[in-house]
A and B are shown apart, each in its own frame.
Chain A
Amino acid sequence: MSMPTPPSLNKPKHVSYWLRCLKTCLPTDYTSTDLNRLTLGFFTIAALDLLGALSNSTSLEERAGWIDWIYHNQLPSGGFRGSPATFLYGAAPHWDPPNLPASYFALVTLISLGDDLGRVEKKGLLALLPKMQRSDGSFGEWLGPDDEVVGSSDMRFIYCACAIRWVLRGRNGDGIIEGVKDIDVDRCVSYIASAETYDHGISEKPFGEAHAGHTYCAISALALLNRLQPTDTGISSSDNIVRWLVSRQIPFEARDGYDEEEIEELITEGTEETRLQATHVEVDADNHPLWAGFNGRCGKRGDTCYSFWVGGSLDVLKKLHLIDVKANRRFLLEKTQHFIGGFAKLPGPGVPPDIMHSFLGLAALALVREEGLNRLDAMLCISMQAKERLMEMDWWKNAPVS
């Protein structure tokens, strides 16, 4: 009798997947992410950093070149554009605006590449943050003509603003940058609290549906602001949120001979009995499912990225040990890890890997200390080494920023 192969991370395949993303053109399908090139760049660099492959698979010259490219996307008055696509050779600067997520991703990619942020327009970028904050405490995505705050109000931009503030102002946020107006922290915290839902996840805004991506951004933003402890004006209590988070873990359901469409129909229109007949969950001797990933909202399917959004939230709350680590790990390694490297969004044949899910799959595994991966700081979403490098930089520790 042959023993089943234990699940493992196919590290060489992941490294080659990411080196391909790094050194050759991404397929045309990525056109819809063209305005988020700095985000894609972050995923690529941070993935190789987690795999420990940055310094041995790329040269110092290459890394210096990528660092220059990121600075090439810095705006003269501070902040970064989302992509070279908006660069207008200096004309109509209001149509080549700073973008909040891009500014966050630029900083963390630079740190991951070993840069000291010496060329970052720190004052300019920090001064942008209060300009991009709305009166309800939320932040916009970018600053439009006449300083109009543009973009939806949701947790993603709050997170980016808080992370930029933490990186540039230091962990207490107090004062190493003199004369630069700070964001309104209280309003930001109360916006987050107002988006806590009746089932105690966090939504994009008051009365929206709880969503694990927004929850991660909200929890991490509070941690970056040192405001994770419940207060009268803050989120209710971490117990409530932990319950919502752990409830996101769901067993992988094998589909007994039905195709995807038939299953969807059975799930939405069938009774519990017909559904149970069509699918089954494999369990071990203790009745624990063998494979169990996470969904991002109540009643949705398991998806690679939510292993990170939920796992990261729980890690920030110091409660990651409450999930079924083993079943989550097996879900990622045996159900969504792709044979060419990277991770697919969903299990099943014919789902190709993509950059976002490939990074978040690795990040989720790094949280639970997968062998062969560097450890991840859940709050900043970069490797522990990268974060420590930042914290050791003289200007971060004590020097006033010029």
Chain B
Amino acid sequence: MSLYSRDPEWEDVVPLPQDDGVHPLAQIAYTEEYAEAMAYLRAVMAKDEVSERVLKVTEDVIEMNPAHYTVWLYRAKTLFALGGDLRKEQIFLNEMALKHQKNYQIWHHRQLIMEKIGDVTGEAEFTASMFEKDSKNYHVWSYRQWLVRRFDLWESPSEIEYIDILLKKDIKNNSAWNHRFFVVFGRDKDVPKEIVDREISICEDAIFIAPQNPSPWNYLRGALKKANLPLSTIEKTCLHYAPLDNPDKIKSSHALDILADIYMEKAEKEQAVMALDLLAKKYDPIRANYWNYRAGLIRGV
């Protein structure tokens, strides 16, 4: 089946075949459709053509290979030069993104388009539909951060509410935790004490549900550091999940890890080594070499 060579709209175009050289590496068994669309794409690119049919051939190539890098910018330039319908482009991008989950270029192009449109309506809903498919999609989270920065959504209540919904669904979704940290602490200004307290208590609630979930523990460390508070602020919480005087009741290796750091802060080396020994021997033996290394550093001090 040939799409271009029999199409009267393309009859003035001489396709440019791929010159693969004599001893190519990593040759791919292209479909005829792909090889042909690429040859017509090269032909219009070589002339820097700006036309409606450029939108057609770029769409065609993108459908078959969304990771083609120059085709996206060529399409954007053509679209802007022709004053094309950007909302229509957005719909095309929605389809592409849902179909090709692990692609960088789609999101870069989307930023260019949204920059021009200048109106964020619908983007939260669309990214949410992407998270329905994969709530940890790195590209989509990266794009969502861009939206917050570009459209100043820092104070938007829906941003934090949405994170709460995702965390309620999966308390271990580290991407959602990270986004929370970005929204709460991501601006160059001091975070008020009541917000820091709120974040600490949200972490403690999450830890109660799943003490072995590393995300809220990491978040706590980060929040305390941002607020210039010592780790010992959460010593009681850690001891609750890792009572050193009653090792059989320990429920969280992460609590032990933080305790070791708290005791180092307080120069109580023996206690710190005890926590690290428990990690190495019983509560996190997969990292025994690491915990022993840390204990060794303390013993050697």
Contact = CB atoms under 8 A, between A and B. Distances in A.
B221 A199 contact: yes
Contact of B108 (A70, A85, A151): A151
Given A92-B47, A246-B287, A292-B286, A31 B182 contact: no
Interface stretch (A130-138, A166-174, A201-209): A201-209
Given A89-B46, A299-B173, A22 B25 contact: yes
A215 interface: no
Given A82-B69, A89-B19, A299-B215, A327 B286 contact: yes
A151 to B, nearest CB: 7
A392 interface: no
Interface in A129-167: 141-142, 144-145, 150-152
Given A27-B29, A40-B26, A324-B289, A151 B46 contact: no
A69 interface: yes
Contacts of B46: 88-89, 91-92, 95
A40 B25 CA distance: 8
B145 interface: yes
B25 A45 contact: yes
A290 to B, nearest CB: 11
Nearest to A21: B26
Interface residues on B, range: 35 or more
Given A88-B16, A207-B145, A247 B287 contact: yes
Interface string B56-77: 0000000011111110011001
**Chain B contact residues: over half helix, strand or loop, or mixed?**
helix
A44 B26 contact: yes
Contacts of B173: 268, 299
Of listed B22, B218, B225, residue having the most chain A CB within 10 A: B218
Contact of B69 (A27, A99, A206, A249): A99
Of listed B286, B289, B293, residue having the most chain A CB within 10 A: B286
Given A85-B38, A205-B142, A268-B170, A144 B210 contact: no
A269 B218 contact: no
Given A84-B20, A84-B21, A95 B45 contact: yes
Contacts of B174: 209, 297-300
B172 interface: yes
A361 interface: no
A84 B26 contact: no
Given A84-B19, A287-B282, A31 B34 contact: yes
Interface stretch (A60-68, A184-192, A219-227, A305-313): A60-68
A236 B181 CA distance: 19
Contacts of A32: 65-67, 100
A251 interface: yes
B161 to A, nearest CB: 19
B133 interface: no
Interface string B8-35: 0000000010111111111111110010
Contacts of B34: 31, 34
Contacts of A198: 181, 185, 218-219, 221-223, 225-226
A23 B104 CA distance: 30
Interface in B55-101: 64-70, 73-74, 77, 100
B186 interface: yes
B25 A37 contact: yes
A271 B141 CA distance: 26
B218 A30 contact: no
B241 to A, nearest CB: 13
B126 interface: no
Contacts of B107: 152
Contact of B21 (A22, A68, A205, A323): A68
A279 interface: no
Contacts of A267: 172
Interface string A232-271: 0000000000110011011100000000000000011101
A247 B221 CA distance: 15
A391 interface: no
A342 interface: no
A322 B182 CA distance: 31
Nearest to B67: A32
Contacts of B31: 28, 31
Of listed B24, B26, B222, residue having the most chain A CB within 10 A: B26
Contacts of B218: 198-199, 298
A97 interface: yes
Contacts of A204: 138, 142
Given A85-B38, A297-B136, A297-B174, A31 B25 contact: no
B247 interface: no
B151 interface: no
Nearest to B213: A299
A9 to B, nearest CB: 23
Nearest to B100: A32
Contacts of B221: 198-199
B261 to A, nearest CB: 10
B222 A209 contact: no
A35 B170 CA distance: 37
Interface in B157-212: 169-170, 172-175, 178, 181-182, 185-186, 210, 212
26 contacts: A31-B34, A34-B30, A40-B26, A44-B25, A44-B26, A45-B25, A65-B23, A68-B23, A69-B21, A69-B25, A89-B19, A89-B46, A92-B45, A95-B70, A109-B25, A150-B69, A152-B108, A210-B178, A268-B172, A272-B210, A292-B286, A297-B174, A298-B214, A299-B173, A299-B214, A355-B26
Given A35-B70, A145-B73, 10 more contacts: A22-B25, A32-B65, A65-B23, A88-B46, A89-B46, A197-B222, A207-B186, A268-B173, A299-B174, A322-B289
